[in-house]
Amino acid sequence: MTEASLAFSDLDARARAMAGDVPADRISVRDHVVDVEIGAFQAERGVTQRLSFSVVVEVSDHGGAETDDVDDILSYDTITEAIMAELEAERLNLLETLAERIAQRLLLSPQPQRVFVRIEKLDRGPGKLGVEIVRDRASGDADVEAQDAPAPILAFLSSTALTAEALPTFLDQFEEDGVPTILVVDADLPLMQDSWAARNIVLLQADQAAWQLASIDPRVVPVGTRTELDWGLKNEQLSVWAPSKMVLDAVDAPISINLVDLTLWFAQQVQACQILWVGCDAPDTPGISSHSVMLEDLS
């Protein structure tokens, strides 16, 4: 089989061609179609499109054929669950990222030795637009577990708190205590109708408020991704959340223009240990410690 024909063949043919002298057993799921919101273009936000997943997993020797026990094999559900787990984790821009994460998740199981992943967009052109990757245990860090970020304190800074003379002293206290902290800044937004456009405007204004705080105090670093947030928590950085990317990329973020609602959702995402509401009354927050810090307490 030529390289050109192999490139356009199904994954099983590619797996057979790469098998070597001792072909491995293969488990596969083909043409698994899911409606997904994905894509880097603005036209792909707020809508779903069909993705087709084909996955072939080469597995190590097992006794499933002899025992007829499902626990002795790699289940097909393991493949489909890996796909759905990565789709539900966050909204992604690139098929390449999604394919990589599915492959690495599958390689966390003991049986897979090599994984072939093909993902195709079915609705973005006259044909199928897709990517295909091959990963094995030597090509990734599947056996290395990421260090968990510590549970932070969230401090919600009201618009009045931002103008308080004692705000630098308040931030000093976090620095001295060395407690992992993420700041959330109220953008003091006017009430607007609930719509996709209004939600985007609110999030962009909240991003601007985060950068405004950074201009007030250079110790504060605006961060917009979970990776940046985790790094900041592990490295004693005083971070302020710029929410637009994380909210727009999430599959379970509230459809709300209320930054308090988004803060409560964010607290769950980062497993915050408590929330401080600075310069405003604390809302009801079941399941998490929540306290008001009045402006007079900042002096």
Residues with active-site annotation = 44, 121
Closest CA to 210 of 173, 245, 239, 249: 239
Asked whether the beta carbons of 174 and 238 are under 8 A apart, the reply is yes
CA distance 185 to 157: 5
Q: How many CB atoms lie within 10 A of CB 133?
A: 16
The whole-angstrom separation of Cα 223 and Cα 235 is 13
**Measured distance CA(236)–CA(238) in Å, rounded:** 7
- Rounded Cα distance between 57 and 106, Å, is 8
**Closest listed residue to residue 95, CA positions, set 52, 63, 138, 136:** 52
CA 46 to chain centroid: 17
Q: To 10 degrees, the CA torsion angle through 209, 215, 219, 223?
A: 40
Residues 32, 52 contacting (CB under 8 angstroms): yes
Bridge partners for 292 per DSSP: 277
Can you read off the two tokens belonging to residue 132?
Answer: 């295909």
Phi, psi (deg, nearest 5) at residue 160: -70, -35
Distance CA 243, CA 220 (A): 15
